[in-house]
Amino acid sequence: MIYVKQIHHVAYRCKDAKETVEWYQEHLNMDLLVCIAEDKVPSTKEPNPYMHVFLDAGQGNVLAFFEITGEKEMGRDHNTPAWVQHIAFQLEDEKALFEAKLELEARGLDVLGVTEHGIIRSIYFFDPNGHRLELTCVTGTAKQMRTLKEIAPQMLEEWSQTKKPPRQSSWLHEQEFAEAE
């Protein structure tokens, strides 16, 4: 049986590796960990020069990017709404979230939110490659999180059958649930 320890890294494409690293260093205080440059893709042996950069996203989490020179200019999946594909980073608490919003706006970024999700609060903005980023803090209680985990299988089954939001999804925003602790 497979037991995943943690995500080693998540990789995305970027337009310019140096610009991307500098942006993440400046705006999210991520350290550059490793750079790998190759002429061929190790797994497929395809000739496709690239720079692969790895950034420290905290607590053993790594965010990676590929700058590829042998392909068409990058774009996004236009069949998927821009809000769907995103990278979310957790902050310590609500104070840190509000401070991050002010800091990012002071640096000229367009920040959406603070958005209330019932058990988390989030802000959203884009990196220089067009990747949507989310900074979030957990506001849900331990009891709320346990309840959501318990009802997750039945919510998934109901969605699978109807392709409509399950009845339980409204629990997240009901006052009774918010005060369940």
Task: Please give the mean pLDDT across all residues of the chain.
Answer: 90
Return all residues near 96 (Cβ < 8 A) that are at least 6 apart: 137
Contacts for 44-52 with beta carbons within 8 Å, 24 or more apart?
A: 51/17, 52/11
Strands of 93-153, DSSP E: 112-116, 120-126, 132-138
What proportion of the chain, given as a percentage, has pLDDT over 90?
Answer: 67
DSSP state at residue 171: G
Is 108 within 8 Å of 118 (Cβ atoms)?
no
Per-residue pLDDT for 172 more than 80? no
Per-residue pLDDT band for 20 (boundaries 50, 70, 90) equals very high
Q: Which of 69-73, 126-130, 151-155 has the lowest mean pLDDT?
A: 69-73
pLDDT of residue 168: 59
Looking at the chain, how many residues does it have? 181
Question: pLDDT for 115-141, tens place per residue?
Answer: 999 999 999 999 999 999 999 999 999
**pLDDT at residue 179 is higher than 60:** no
**32-48 tens-digit pLDDT:** 999 999 998 889 888 99
